[in-house]
Amino acid sequence: MAFTPEQQEAIFTHDKNMVVVAGAGSGKTRVLVERYLALLEAHDDWPLTALVAITFTKEAALEMTNRVHLSLEQRLRDEPDRATRWQDLLAQMDSARIGTIHSLCGDILRANAALIGLDPGFEVMDEVTSAVLLDNIIADVLNDVAHHDPDGLLRLFTEYDERAIRAVLRDSDLLAQDLRAFDTQPAHLFQTWQAQWARSCDDLRLQALRLIDQYAYEPAGDDTLSKAWQVVADTYAVLANPDCGAQVIYDVIGDCCNNMKLPGVPSKKVWGESAASVKEDLRIFRDGLRDVFASVGEMPGLADERAAELLVLWARLISKTAAAYQTAKQRDSLLDFNDLEMRTAYLLKTYPAVRARYVLNEFQHVFVDEFQDTNGPQWDIVQSLTTLDTGGSLFVVGDPKQSIYGFRGADVSVFNDVRDLIAGRECGHEVALSQSFRSHSQLVQTFNSVFRHLLTRDETSAVSRYQVVYDKDMRAFREDMPTQPAFELILLNGQIPNEEGRSTNVPASDRRQWEAYEIGRRLQQMVHAETLIFDKEIGQHRPIRYGDVAILLRGMTHVTLYEDVFKVLGIPYVTLAGRGYYDRQEVWDVLNLLRALYNPADNLSLAAALRSPLFGFSDDMLLALRLVRQDAEARTPTLLWDALAYATESPVMGVDTAESQSLVALTYGVLCDLKAMAGRVSIAELLREALARTGYLAVLQALSPDGPRRRRNVEKLLQIAQESGQIALSDFTAYIDDISSRDLREGEALLDASDAVRLMTVHRSKGLEFPVVVLADAGSSSRGNSTSPLLYDRDMGLACKVTTLEGELYESYPYRQAKTLQIMREDAENRRLFYVAATRAQDYLLVSGHFRAKKEGFSADHWLGMLLEALDMTDCEDGALLPIPGAADCFAYASVREYDHDLPSRLVSDQMTTLSLESDDMLQVPPLLAAVPKQPTAVLDHMNASQLENLLAAVLEEDRYRETYRVNVMADVYDTPKAPVREVVRRHNPRLTGRIIGTIVHEALRYWRLPESTLDMERVLQGYAWQQGITDPRLEAEAVREATDLLHQFMHSDLYQWVAEAKTAGRPVYHELPFIYRMEGRLIHGVIDLVFQRYDGQWCIVDYKTSYVEKPSPEGLAEHARRHFTLQMGAYAQSWLARFDIEPAVYIHYIRYTRDIVIEGQAWRAAIANLEATIHTVLDEVE
């Protein structure tokens, strides 16, 4: 295909520095590769390494490398007279400098390591590895603060929840910031904020005056509308004085916002036929004034003075953590991505000789792809490797309209600035690639119309630098168009009338399920009707297949709703970047095997592995092995691992057939061989051997109906293990946990997706194209309130919340400003994200979402709301054709749907038959898809012991600790993450904590494994230590020693004497006794650590606690038990009393202090009686 004039210019203009603005589908990659080859062709003396191509991802680098390689081979075939040149370049391909900015930085740093005191053998950590290391550093820093705090940093822990502090410190980008400006006196910060507020008020005055000049009318009478405009006139009179003062400005504009009243029906007698438009102008003016007024906020006050004090402490804590993190990296010769950028920029700036080595020397020409996704430090590096004063050394290509990685640090303002910097010089030139080779004319015209309206810049905005303009229309290469509209809207009325005749919203989960159903049915219709799409590979039209469709979502949180409905409809799909990969059963099977290999005492993991297709044990075989007693007098079962060994040598009832005996012998042999390898080879090698020995992949492949998918998922786990490079399972587990808890989500392994709908995020779709694109859930707002106590804004710096006297978190003045800027930048990026999502479509674009029907017309949030505005659409009927403004002969087809109350029940039944267009039979999915009526406290209908502890402590604990327990309750109520369990795995700096020792002892007591009665006590304790991530031999030995000492100490307690005597006398003793008890409509469940009958006939219930207590005196322990465990132990006692009609004695045994604390009957009865009141008290607080 011939080059367009713009492509020709971008490829063959070699004497100027070039900035190329490449619209969606305009052939950017082709231009990049062709220019690369054209430069090599024009400069016979340049080696391949003279060209540096910087890509955004490794995948893009690989694609470009492959394209260059193929093009060189083609030239070798087509140009025999230059064969020597092309052969020479092909031989250099392994050394081609085509890669990410970080790979380039690594090469430069290794080549010049000695200059900046860097070990040239440094290791570059990926995001997950650096996060695990940082977690360890944070734990050490906070532990140091707890024991040694000359800077008063502990005050932060009285203001904020520890988990929130940890979350802030985990931001490695924040640690890389220069916070010296906050190493000052709090009073100075506060004065700076006051001055900023005064300037903001003056800006507010100017904006208000502009709004008044644009919209205001002279009052025309005594009607409501005239009175409102009189308020505006009075406001103008005050604001016209530039010296009126900040507080006066703020007060008068606030009064104006509050006192303007919109009339129900404006008076036509006063305003004539223009009454409605005058009212509308008043509404627009009022809303605009309220927005700018809200952006300023109240004058900094007393709470802000406290915020200034706290910010100084935050800056010190962050700097302390950053210093410790840096020290740890230097000690082990590690660099993260921030280090690569910062050290390279420093090297090139500080050492002119190094820069001279590269600029127009080793590096003759630098390409930067996806330049819109770079940031300031990265541009500094690029600029240091080129010269803007001489043409021909730099080529950047990108599209600011497609800058969507702000959350990764991308800064679209850099593109805008560099664009002006290059194009504004005589040796620079700008080219716009504006012909789309992706979409046909109808869609291209639609995109032009919509995004010309949505992508604009407000020069008066505080974030105008981050806004982009749709400044050049695209034109289509493809003139072929479908006969039906290529742009469809699936509009769901998100409101339903209630019994009182008023409208209520369809619950969000039901609405998304409904939307998935409507999308699925529409896709079925298109496939059934054999709707034509253009196949680029064969160069002609053909009927649509499911594999031609991509459903794009802004996030994958609710993707399972779409998956479940598509299963019902019988639509094949594949999910990319989903959340569910690590929850797949086949992945769990393999991870359970690994856990059992590293800890043979882990009965649960071993049983799960044995029961899985890895080994195929039946339930009867597992039960038989679980009942094995090597010692006839032993009261506890033999470890499952040991039972397997026993069954290979001695007959076991239930494992007595030749087939089962052979299976046991084979399994035990495999496990022993794998156990011998564990810790000596990498996880990947161990996995590979396990899969080979068990034939697991072949078993999965044979499973119906999704065996191939399961097999590929396990192969993907093997790939992840290979990439992690881990040897210790504890490290590998930490690696996977960190991936699954962050935004690095794994999708299921890909099968042949040629005939499967793809479900993916918009970000994942970047650079891809599909015949049919569906933008799902386009009417839901994605903006949420920031829960972080600290924000860092690139313009404002640090800002924090502060706890008021009432215990509420107050957003300080700088926090409000930073959040406002953040929201405005997010809005600008969301518009660009919409552009990226829409322009993935080749033939058809479907946008679905819910709207609200109001008197003045349809309204919606987010993308759908933007779209309705761009189409100037206020309402429409089902099946309407809506003209696209400014696009001749282009229409949008609108489907308007009303909610069907019977849909959930139609999607749930015992009959699982496939839905099709030819059949009325409805395939039903599991009842979890059905709408479940929710009650205010329904989330706590099922409660366990931990929830009971959180509930009680959230009411009774001291104020400084109460918030921790309130947050845990909130986690259950709102399905938000609980406090993360502190990682014990210390890859670079392993540690042994008191909590770990306590947990090990707790585990031993649960199963009554004590030094006097357990033959291989050391091995058992080693297993428990491994469960806590202790794999270092030295620490393991120390853990076993300390745990043994505590267990010996326990054996001198009254509790031990009671239990030992009961066992000797043959009285009942139960360890780990599960219970379920229903009380007032709530189901209380859990496991009681110990129940036994004492020498005096008294039944006793005991729960072990490893808690550290601030005052471990008998009184202090009793008070601690009252505040934390009365409700939990009451549930235990009440369930026992209800079952056996016997009131037990109730004890908390504090392991560390060898103390038994009695929970009196009167106390636990009162706690149980007040359960409902306690629940409502806490829920009222967290709401």
Is 71 known as a binding-site position? no
Q: What is the pLDDT of residues 542-578, one digit of tens each?
A: 999 999 999 999 988 788 889 889 988 889 888 875 4
CA–CA separation, 1039 and 998 (whole Å): 10
Distances (CA, A) of 954 to 86, 162, 455, 1183: 74, 16, 48, 14
Q: Contact 801/367 with Cβ under 8 angstroms?
A: no
Q: What's the CATH number for 942-972+1053-1182?
A: 3.90.320
- pLDDT, position 936: 40
Q: Which of 461, 511, 487 is nearest to 873 (CA)?
A: 487
**Hey, what long-range contacts does 531-540 have (CB within 8 A, 24 or more apart)?**
531/482, 531/484, 531/844, 532/482, 533/771, 533/772, 533/842, 533/843, 533/844, 534/440, 534/478, 534/480, 534/771, 534/842, 534/843, 535/771, 536/842
Tens of pLDDT, residue by residue over 1098-1137, are: 999 999 887 777 788 888 899 888 888 898 899 899 888 8
pLDDT at position 956 is 60
Q: Over 70: is that where the pLDDT of 975 sits?
A: no
935 pLDDT band, cuts 50/70/90, is very low
The sign of the CA dihedral 1081, 1082, 1088, 1094 is negative
Task: Give me the amino acid identity at 84.
Answer: T
pLDDT for 675 = 87
Q: Which residues sit opposite 1076 in a β-bridge? A: 1085
Q: What is the per-residue pLDDT across 692-717, written as a single tens digit (0 to 9) for each? A: 888 888 888 777 556 776 787 788 78
**What are the pLDDT digits (tens) for 84-95?**
999 999 999 989
**Rounded distance, CA 725 to CA 738, Å?**
15
Over range 587-615, report the average pLDDT: 86
SS (H, E, C) 770-805: EEEEEECCCCCCCCCCCCCCEEEECCCEEEEEEECC
Cα distance between residue 1047 and residue 368, in whole Å: 64
Mean pLDDT, to the nearest integer, of 232-259?
92
**Mean pLDDT to the nearest integer, 738-764:** 64
Chain segment 1001-1015, per-residue pLDDT in tens = 888 887 788 888 887
Residue 140 pLDDT exceeds 80 = yes
The closest alpha carbon to 317, from 136, 128, 146, 127, belongs to 146
State residue 532's pLDDT score: 94
pLDDT at residue 907, as a whole number: 76
pLDDT in tens, 341-381: 999 999 999 999 999 999 999 999 999 999 999 999 999 99
DSSP-derived secondary structure letter, 138: H
Overall average pLDDT of the 633-639 stretch: 67
- At residue 343, φ and ψ (nearest 5 deg) are -70, -35
Q: Is 618 annotated as a binding residue?
A: no
Average pLDDT of span 273-300: 87
CATH 3.40.50.300 fits 5-122+334-433, yes or no: yes
Q: What is the pLDDT of residues 58-87, one digit of tens each?
A: 888 999 999 999 999 999 999 999 999 999
Known binding residue 23? Answer is yes
Kindly report the CATH number that applies to the domain delimited by 581-749: 1.10.486.10
Identify each DSSP E strand in 97-242 by its residue range.
97-100, 123-124
Of residues 445 and 721, the one with the higher pLDDT is 445
Cα separation, 859 vs 872, whole angstroms: 11
Confidence of residue 937 (pLDDT cuts 50, 70, 90): very low
What are 90's two structure tokens?
């092909």
Q: Is the pLDDT at 1030 greater than 90, yes or no?
A: no
Question: Residue written as tokens 């359970």?
Answer: 592
- Helix, strand, or coil here: 24? coil
Q: What is the pLDDT of residue 618?
A: 86
The fraction of the chain above a pLDDT of 90, given in percent, is 44
What's the pLDDT band for 750 if we cut at 50, 70, 90? very low
User: Domain residues of the chain, as ranges?
Assistant: 5-122+334-433, 127-176+302-331, 187-296, 478-575+755-928, 581-749, 942-972+1053-1182
Please, are residues 1172 and 1180 in contact by the beta-carbon 8 Å criterion? no
Radius of gyration of the chain (CA): 34
CA-closest candidate to residue 7, choices 534, 502, 434: 434
Which of 788, 1134, 1175 is CA-nearest to residue 972? 1175
- Could you report the per-residue pLDDT of 1072-1086, keeping only the tens digit for each? 787 777 766 677 777
Whether residue 35 is predicted with pLDDT greater than 90 in this model: the reply is yes
Token code pair at residue 274: 């223009």
The reported pLDDT for the residue numbered 984 is 28
Reported as type and span, the H/E element at residue 430 is strand 428-433
| 946 annotated ligand-binding residue | no
On whether 854 is known to bind a ligand per the annotation, the reply is no
pLDDT band at residue 726 under the 50/70/90 scheme: low
Query: Would you say 724 is a known binding-site residue?
Result: no
Q: For the domain with range 478-575+755-928, which CATH number is right: 3.30.70, 1.10.3470, 3.30.870, 3.40.50?
A: 3.40.50
Going from the C-alpha of 1110 to that of each of 162, 340, 1115, the distances in angstroms are 17, 45, 11
- Strands 790-793 and 549-553 turn out to be unpaired
Average pLDDT over residues 608-637: 79
At residue 436, what are phi and psi to the nearest 5 degrees? -90, 125
Q: In the structure, what pLDDT confidence band is assigned to residue 728 with cuts at 50, 70 and 90?
A: low
Q: Was 146 annotated as part of a binding site?
A: no
Question: Binding residue per annotation — 1029?
Answer: no
Q: What is the pLDDT of residues 661-692, one digit of tens each?
A: 889 999 999 999 998 888 778 888 888 899 98
Given pLDDT bands bounded at 50, 70 and 90, which one contains residue 508?
confident
Of 778, 761, 774, the residue nearest 861 (C-alpha)? 778
Q: Please give the Cα distance from 611 to 619 (Å, whole number).
A: 7
Q: Name which of 29, 36, 26, 33 is nearest 6 in CA terms.
A: 26
How far are the Cα atoms of 134, 462, 465 from residue 821, in angstroms, in the given order? 29, 7, 12
- The burial class, CB within 10 Å (0-12 / 13-18 / 19+), for 540 is exposed
| Band of pLDDT at residue 979, cut at 50, 70 and 90 | very low
For 1088-1097, write each residue's pLDDT tens digit. Answer: 889 999 999 9
The predicted structure's pLDDT at residue 633: 57
Q: Which of 683, 664, 766, 670 is nearest to 722 (CA)?
A: 683
Q: Smallest Cα–Cα separation from 507: which of 494, 491, 493? A: 494
pLDDT at residue 1157 in the model:
93
141: which residues sit within 8 A by CB, 6+ positions away?
A: 169, 317, 320, 321, 324
Taking a C-beta distance cutoff of 8 angstroms, is the pair 573, 759 a contact? yes
Question: Would you state the pLDDT for residue 990?
Answer: 46
Q: How far apart are CA 35 and CA 11, in angstroms?
A: 4
Residue range 1042-1068: mean pLDDT, rounded = 90
pLDDT of res. 635: 57
Q: How confident is the model at residue 893 (pLDDT cuts 50, 70, 90)?
A: very high
Percent of the chain that is helix, strand, coil (3-state, to 5) = 55, 15, 30
pLDDT at 559: 85
- CA pair distance 586, 713, nearest whole angstrom: 7
Q: Is a pLDDT exceeding 90 seen at residue 198?
A: yes
Q: What is each CA distance from 1040 to 597, 1003, 1004, 1023, in whole angstroms? A: 20, 13, 11, 10
Sign of the CA dihedral running 561, 564, 569, 571: positive
Q: Do domains 5-122+334-433 and 478-575+755-928 have the same CATH topology?
A: yes
